[in-house]
Amino acid sequence: MTTDPSSAVLCLASASPRRRDLLASIGVSVAVNPVDIDESPLADECPMAYVTRLAREKALAGAPASELPTLGSDTAVVCEGEILGKPAGREHAARMLARLAGREHQVLTAVAVTGPCGVLDICVTTRVWMRAISADEISAYWVTGEPEGKAGGYAIQGFAAVFVERIEGSHSAVVGLPLFETAALLSRQGVPIWQGRRVPPR
């Protein structure tokens, strides 16, 4: 487990730099403890149940390594009820982006936090509309390296922002953590956020 910084108030059961940065943006210092669990969907498991189960399993798997409250999270891109996971390669990513182009899809992000109140969780759904994307754009996007390891094969906080016409819901949830809801869970578990912290001069 690595600590960043030493004054950590939360254990983050994820190696995602996006989730670490989102927590830092609300003043939460974390100890990073990535966990490895089976992320295969269960038979007849709906997307909301799927991401919520994974978030809880990650939080519980990470908790024994730390005396701190532990946060687990999972994000899924859903199109027509089907979960689109991380691309297995260039062609897989191209097929996913082509499917998402010119239409609406949903991004589900679940968060679970262990602590004095047991395991608290929430799942947030954000609707995302993408413009039409040409095959050349999809090929060029793959070359950036950004689609690799991203649910649905894109990162809204990166180059793919130019593909997104609009969203309805939480932008930070699409990035990796719904900050409004996450802060509420952390407060219930006694984890301090930005109160009393000074913003460094820019």
Query: Annotated catalytic sites, by residue?
Result: 74
CB 37 within 8 A of CB 53: no
Q: Distance from CA of residue 193 to its chain's centroid? A: 19
Other C-beta atoms within 10 Å of 18: how many? 17
> In whole angstroms, how far apart are CA 119 and each of 6, 25, 96, 187?
25, 23, 33, 13
Pairing of strands 118-130, 70-79: unpaired
Between CA 30 and CA 90 the distance in angstroms is 33
Phi and psi based region of residue 34 (left: phi greater than 0; alpha: psi -120 to 50; beta: remaining): beta
